[in-house]
Amino acid sequence: MEEYFQERETLEATVLLIDMRHPPTEDDIIMYDFLKHFELPVLVVATKLDKVKKAKRDQHYKVIKEALDLEPEDQLVAFSAETGEGKDQAWRHLSGFIS
């Protein structure tokens, strides 16, 4: 993986999928740090948005941002494959990296 992230000249950004229902795992944090080591922008997509009550979503966003120590240039988008909520926002962020 290191070779891919280091030498892939056309790689403009990465997407890290995490489960929004739970705080980021140790593996999630390690992977985020690994991607940042290569100085790539990261779009963090928090999946299973439909499983989190609307009143609790802000709390979950905060936990994720703090656990990952999300850098200012990186984005966090919540997404539900079930309802499609967050899909447009995710595509908007991704399209910014397409040349």
Residue 41 lies in a domain: no
On whether residue 57 sits in a domain, the answer given is yes
> Which is nearest to 11 in space by CA: 2, 21, 20?
2
Q: For the segment 64-92, what is each residue's pLDDT rounded down to a tens digit?
A: 999 999 999 999 999 999 999 999 999 99
Residue 63 lies in a domain: yes
- pLDDT tens, 2-60? 888 888 888 888 999 999 999 999 999 999 999 999 888 999 999 999 999 999 999 99
75 vs 70: CA distance, rounded Å: 8
Tally of residues, the chain: 99
Structural domain boundaries, residue 76: 52-81
Number of domains forming the structure of the chain: 1
Q: At what angle do helices 57-68 and 26-37 cross, to 10 degrees?
A: 60
Instruction: Report d(CA 43, CA 65) in Å as an integer.
Output: 12
* Any domain includes 60: yes
Residue 5 falls within a domain, yes or no?
Answer: no
pTM (two decimals) = 0.91
